[in-house]
Amino acid sequence: MFVNFIKITKESVFLDPRNNFESQTVTIEIRRDPLTERVSRIFPFRKLVLHRHDWTPFVEESKQKFCPFCPEVVEKVTPKFIEAIAPDGRIKVGDAMAIPNLNPYEKHASVVIMSPRHYIPMDEINVQTMVDSFRAGLTYLQRVTAADPAEGSYPSINWNYMPYAGGSIIHPHLQVLTGPEPTTFNRQLINASTEYFMRCNQNYWTDLIYAEIDRGERYIGKTGDVHWISAFAPRHVGEVIGILPGKQTIDDITDQDLVDLAGGLQKIIHYYDRNNLPSFNAALYFARREDRGFTVHVRIVGRFTIFPLVGSDITHMQVLHDDPWTVILPELIAQELKDVFNSPQ
């Protein structure tokens, strides 16, 4: 076992105006991701209490405006794929539908409209919607990869739920894309996984699962074959990683995997909702068959705003220094989610 959990604890001292300028010591923690060694800062060792955010006014306003994804207009106003990708123009799975992205940022970029419903509150996001949407995204990626292997090398499936997470349209949708090179972070994951495999002759992701089970601090549980872990060095608040051992490419993902994946995501999304995290980003990462040591996994992070109405949870640290931070201890999230995963629903 070669997984190292490195953390440095520091104490910051100041004279506290809230206590007659007496000396006050605050503890901060700097952690390094066991695979990529990327830094993450853990701010205070307490649970952040967030205000409940009500999306109703935004949702009502959006209903008054034009929504291209609503069933009355979607077939008329959204683009169609070329025939080589989809003879019918669009890829439909259950209620989900993949269409070309009208504002692509890769040669091959799709949007999956997840449901005919204009707005799905977090506590109503269900397994079937996610399974159908992921399958629509995967089908698109498989067709693109078959038609254009070089450009289809590095796919990902991504979800920005609501405006705090960058979702510009309220109607639930996924961002699906693939390119000849991985995204910057996916490249780090793939390269570091290969290096780990070459150095240790082991798969990092399998080692991580066993290391976290052994420690018991951040291991949350299983849904089918998917293992869920609260990230040791989170990229953002509430980061949870779902790992699918033995899976490496988009072709490895079975329908049962999607059910297992969606089952875990649903529990996490509902947990975020109960804890007033009103928005989230999620991403499914894949590699090529020849990228040794990599394992397919999903990451989900909560998004919020510091103030009830306006603001952002992204600061100079993420944007200009590439150092993410969190205000919720990963071990606390694991503890609470463990109860959620263990309780029958």
d(CA 303, CA 160): 10
How far is it, in rounded angstroms, from Cα 188 to Cα 154? 13
Q: With DSSP H G I counted as helix, E B as strand and the rest as coil, what are the percentages for the chain, rounded to 5? A: 30, 25, 45
- Range in contact with Zn ion (rule: CB under 5 A) among 91-99, 113-121, 131-139, 191-199: 113-121
Please identify, using beta-carbon distances, which residue of 66 and 105 lies nearer to Zn ion.
66
Residue 85, helix vs strand vs coil: coil
Amino acid at 217: E
Site for Zn ion in 134-193 (CB under 5 A): 171
Token pair 């539908």: residue:
97
- How near is the Cβ of 217 to Zn ion at its closest, in Å? 42
Compute the least distance from the CB of residue 173 to Zn ion, in Å: 9
Q: How far is the CB of 174 from Zn ion (least distance, A)?
A: 15
The one among 32, 41, 118, 338 contacting Zn ion by CB under 5 A: 118
Query: Smallest gap, in angstroms, from Cβ of residue 107 to Zn ion?
Result: 27
For the chain, the straight-line distance linking the first and the last C-alpha, in angstroms and rounded, comes to 35
Residue nearest Zn ion, CB atom distance: 67
In the list 28, 30, 48, 70, the residue contacting Zn ion (rule: CB under 5 A) is: 70
Q: Does 117 bind Zn ion (CB under 5 A)?
A: no
Residue among 62 and 266 whose Cβ is closer to Zn ion: 62
Minimum CB separation of residue 116 from Zn ion in Å reads 8
H/E element, 178? strand 173-179
Give the whole-angstrom CA distance, residue 333 versus residue 345: 19
DSSP state of 89: S
Q: Which residue's CB is nearer to Zn ion, number 67 or number 211?
A: 67
Count of positions on this chain that bind Zn ion (CB under 5 A):
5
Of the pair 133, 193, the CB lying nearest Zn ion is at 133
For the chain, the farthest-separated pair of C-alpha atoms sits apart, in whole angstroms, at 73
Backbone φ, ψ for residue 25 (5° rounding): -115, 125
Q: For Zn ion, what does the binding mask look like between residues 50 and 69, x meaning CB under 5 A?
A: -----------------x-x
Interface positions with Zn ion (CB under 5 A): 67, 69-70, 118, 171
